């Protein structure tokens, strides 16, 4: 999520920004990279139909990253790494010739179905910058986030922050000086982020690297709620109670430093959400519920609040409370293509004895994600309860096949043993 908020609507007579260089093209895509030969092709391929130029700033690759960038006709520059992401970002955007700049990372892919929307939004004379909805692939936390990555090539817009760098401060400052500028949200997925799919060793390296740079940032800016939020979120992802409690302290401190919640909605949203996660891990159910309810009450796009509804439902379900049904139903309304929402909805309906509705929910989850082994398994259980034995056996059989394909051998064997009793 990013920090500044959407302004009020503006009349069409707004002034345009001034680019760093003569404008000859519409959109420049800017990346900073190092040793990204595995992911870079997919990222660059996704930009071909919208970016007029691609700028790749390499910070010291020893693999084929630079060669791949050149293969995609990117303009390649070299930057000596200095433990400061904002400096590298600013060097990259300084090379841009386009009217607009899209900042993207090698582990992200531009969603092709969103291109037409982006092209339309960039035609608005009053728009300064755009929050993009990002899908977090295989994350254990929130499946969506808002990131401020598309903005006018305006000399006043620059990145700040050693880590988790952003243009937020410069956008707020520019809007204060020139209030006609608008900050907009695109509320359909624009970026697909694959950073959470790294293996355990890579994730551990990222964890330590991120922690080091965030502490370095906080030495200079100790009252930065945004960075306190990010560092707190990092600590609560640790299985150690000591780290999680430190994370809670950092998050609470970040909240206490918020002086204008209305102007810092997205930071508040993240702070409360991460507190909810930490309290949930500690099984402090009431504190967790309160934190998630705070997220839900904030006026941000519903997709950003999706995980708060989901996790609140999980707490109610954990404590066998019927309120879980309403939470999961809201999840399916917000994200009708989110299979896990229907799966959890099915669990709550089954717990309440609404077997027919539970069957429909599991079937919807399977339609959206045919290889959802747990959905096939749970569907089998409910079908068995209502006496549809042949259908139940078919569901269990498919679940066993999928569990084995996904190397969940112990679960597959338990299911196979149970199924023998019915055949």
The three-state DSSP-derived secondary structure of 257-313 is: CCCCCCCCHHHHHHHHHHHHHHHHHCCCHHHHHHHHHHHHHCCCCHHHHHHHHHHHH
Q: Bridge partners of 109?
A: 192
Half-sphere exposure of 175 (CA within 13 A, CB side): 23
Residue boundaries of the structural domains of the chain: 25-197
Average pLDDT over residues 86-100: 97
Instruction: Quote the mean pLDDT of the chain.
Output: 90
Tell me the pTM.
Answer: 0.79
User: What is the pLDDT at residue 339?
Assistant: 93
Cβ–Cβ under 8 Å, residues 374 and 406: no
Average pLDDT over residues 66-93: 96
DSSP symbols for 357-405? HHHHHHHHHHHH-TT-HHHHHHHHHHHHHTT-HHHHHHHHHHHHHHHHH
User: What is the pLDDT at residue 206?
Assistant: 80
Where residue 17 falls (left for φ over 0; alpha for ψ -120 to 50; beta otherwise) is beta
Q: At what angle do helices 241-256 and 265-281 cross, to 10 degrees?
A: 150
Pairwise pLDDT comparison (6 vs 123), residue with the higher score: 123
**Residue 245 CA: distances (Å) to CA of 163, 292, 294, 298, 383:** 22, 18, 20, 25, 43
DSSP symbols for 110-155? E-GGGHHHHHHHTT-TTEEEEEEEEEETT-SS-SEEEEEEEEE--T
State the Cα–Cα distance between residues 19 and 16, nearest whole angstrom: 10
The H-or-E segment that residue 235 falls in is helix 225-236
Structural tokens at position 408: 């969940």
Does pLDDT of 140 surpass 70? no
| CATH class belonging to 25-197 | alpha beta
Q: Band of the pLDDT at 285, cuts 50, 70, 90? A: very high
User: What is the pLDDT at residue 5?
Assistant: 41
User: What is the pLDDT at residue 24?
Assistant: 59
Average pLDDT over residues 181-199: 86
Residue with tokens 């970002």: 89
User: What is the pLDDT at residue 16?
Assistant: 35
User: What is the pLDDT at residue 156?
Assistant: 96
Does pLDDT of 4 surpass 80? no
User: What is the pLDDT at residue 241?
Assistant: 82
Q: Band of the pLDDT at 13, cuts 50, 70, 90? A: very low
Q: CA dihedral defined by 108, 113, 116, 117, rounded to 10 degrees?
A: -70
State the Cα–Cα distance between residues 368 and 375, nearest whole angstrom: 11
Bridge-based pairing state of the strands 98-103 and 127-136: unpaired
Least-confidence region, from 174-183, 257-266, 356-365, 391-400: 257-266
The residue length of the chain stands at 423
State the Cα–Cα distance between residues 310 and 69, nearest whole angstrom: 39
The H-or-E segment that residue 185 falls in is strand 182-193
User: What is the pLDDT at residue 70?
Assistant: 97
Q: Band of the pLDDT at 64, cuts 50, 70, 90? A: very high
pLDDT in tens, 146-157: 899 999 999 999
State the Cα–Cα distance between residues 265 and 24, nearest whole angstrom: 36
Does pLDDT of 330 surpass 90? yes
DSSP secondary structure letter of residue 421: T
Q: In what order do the strands lie in the sheet with 182-193?
A: 75-78, 53-58, 25-33, 98-103, 144-152, 127-136, 182-193, 108-110
Average pLDDT over residues 379-385: 95
Q: Band of the pLDDT at 323, cuts 50, 70, 90? A: very high
Burial (CB count <10 Å: 0-12, 13-18, 19+), residue 148: buried
User: What is the pLDDT at residue 20?
Assistant: 47
Q: By three-state DSSP, how is residue 56 classified?
A: strand
Cβ–Cβ under 8 Å, residues 181 and 174: yes
Q: Bridge partners of 110?
A: 191
């Amino acid at each position: 999520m990013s920090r500044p908020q959407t302004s009020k609507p503006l009349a069409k007579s707004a002034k345009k920004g001034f680019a760093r260089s003569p404008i000859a093209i519409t959109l420049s895509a800017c990346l900073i990279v190092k040793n990204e030969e595995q992911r870079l092709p997919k990222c660059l391929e996704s930009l071909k139909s919208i970016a007029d130029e691609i700028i790749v700033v390499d910070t010291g690759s020893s693999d084929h990253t630079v060669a791949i960038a050149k293969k995609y006709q990117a303009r390649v520059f070299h930057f000596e790494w200095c433990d400061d992401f904002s400096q590298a970002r600013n060097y990259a955007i300084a090379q841009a010739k386009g009217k607009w700049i899209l900042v993207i990372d090698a582990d992200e892919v531009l969603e092709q179905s969103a291109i037409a929307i982006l092209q339309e939004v960039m035609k608005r004379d009053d728009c300064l910058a755009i929050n993009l909805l990002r899908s977090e692939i295989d994350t254990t936390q929130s499946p969506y986030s808002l990131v401020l990555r598309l903005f006018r090539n305006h000399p006043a817009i620059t990145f700040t922050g050693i880590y988790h760098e952003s243009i937020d401060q410069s956008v707020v400052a520019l809007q204060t000086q020139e209030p006609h500028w608008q900050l907009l949200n695109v509320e359909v997925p624009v970026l697909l982020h694959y950073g959470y799919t790294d293996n355990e060793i890579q994730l551990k390296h990222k964890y330590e690297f991120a922690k080091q740079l965030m502490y370095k940032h906080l030495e200079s800016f100790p009252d930065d709620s945004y960075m306190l939020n990010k560092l707190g979120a990092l600590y609560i992802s640790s299985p150690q109670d000591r780290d999680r409690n430190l994370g809670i302290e950092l998050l609470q401190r970040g909240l206490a430093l918020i002086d204008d919640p209305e102007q810092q909605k997205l930071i508040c949203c993240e702070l409360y959400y991460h507190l909810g996660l930490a309290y949930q891990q500690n099984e402090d159910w009431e504190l967790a519920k309160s934190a998630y309810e705070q997220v839900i009450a904030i006026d941000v796009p519903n997709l950003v609040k999706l995980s708060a509804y989901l996790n609140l439902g999980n707490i109610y379900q954990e404590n066998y409370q019927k309120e879980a049904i309403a939470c999961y139903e809201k999840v399916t309304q917000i994200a009708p293509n989110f299979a896990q929402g229907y799966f959890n909805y099915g669990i709550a309906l089954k717990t309440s004895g609404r077997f027919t509705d539970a069957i429909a929910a599991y079937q919807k989850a399977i339609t959206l994600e045919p290889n959802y082994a747990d959905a096939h398994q749970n569907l089998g259980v409910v079908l068995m309860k209502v006496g549809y034995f042949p259908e139940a056996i078919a569901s269990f059989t498919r679940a066993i096949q999928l569990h084995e394909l996904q190397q969940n051998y112990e679960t597959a064997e338990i299911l196979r043993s149970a199924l023998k009793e019915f055949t």
